[in-house]
Structure formats: C-alpha cells, structure tokens
Amino acid sequence: MIPSNSKKKAFLCARAALDHKAIDLVILEVKNLSSFTDYFVISSGNSDRQVQAIASHIEEKLEKQDIYPLGIEGKREGRWILLDYGDVVIHVFYHPVREFYDLERLWADAPKVDWPPVRKRRRTRPRG
C-alpha cells in the first residue's frame, strides 16, 4: 500500500523511526514555507550506530512500499543522516548534533503535525 499523500508518507517514516527507538520525534509541515518539500520528519538517536539503524529501517520500510529516496546524505558517518523522498525529508541526528543545528528553531514558523499514536497489539493469553 503506497501512501496516498505526503502526510501519510511522513507518518510511515515516523513509525519506522520509532520502530528503532528514535527519540524526540517531530513532524514539521513546511509546505507553505519551502519550495522543495512538504514535511520534515526529525528524530534523534543516542549513538551513531543507532542513527544509522534508524535511517536504514526507514529506507527498508519505504522500499517495501515501492518508495525510494531521491538522495541520502551522511549515512556513513551517522551523525546527521538526511533521507530525501521529495515531498518528505527525514533528518536523523545523533542527539548532540541535533541540539547544535536546532532545525526546529530554524523552522520555527512551521507547524508541528499531530499524528495518530501507534496502537499496541493486545497480547492474548494462552488458553490453558
């Protein structure tokens, strides 16, 4: 199932990031402020390896939906990885690097997107 619009794609990216324990995840709607994308998905990891794992998982999840990036930057270093999907740009930061660049402040006029919480599956007890 390919998301029908950029907002759904941003949600898909956000959920994929959270699958790998991304922290401080924020979705910013920048379509009225930017000519190059509609949404930023910004998250952090606690190490360069976690940042790489988060970015790789997002890539894999989208690839399963036949969605491929236009470009990827910073994956080898794992300090700030940018995944460009056209209408959605994902920024995965090593936490101290995120604080230094402070994209949320730079894009302070962009509204934060409220997105639906992920439903947790109910565990069923084995019948005994």
Domain that includes residue 25, residue range:
6-106
Q: Decide if 96 is inside a domain.
A: yes
- Could you report the per-residue pLDDT of 76-88, keeping only the tens digit for each? 999 999 999 999 9
Q: Decide if 115 is inside a domain.
A: no
Q: Decide if 113 is inside a domain.
A: no
The pLDDT, as a whole number, for residue 128 is 52
Q: Decide if 116 is inside a domain.
A: no
Q: Are 40 and 27 in contact (CB under 8 A)?
A: yes
Taking the CA atoms of 24, 25, 26 and 31 in sequence, report the sign of the dihedral they define.
Answer: positive
CATH number of the domain encompassing residue 39: 3.30.460.10
pTM for the model: 0.85
pLDDT at 113 over 90: yes
Confidence band for 117, pLDDT divided at 50, 70 and 90: low
- The DSSP bridge pattern shows strands 80-84 and 88-94 to be antiparallel
pLDDT at 118 over 70: no
Across the chain, what does the average pLDDT equal? 89
Buried b (16+ CB within 10 A) or exposed e, 45-80: beebebbbbbbbbbbebbeeeebebeeeebeeebbb
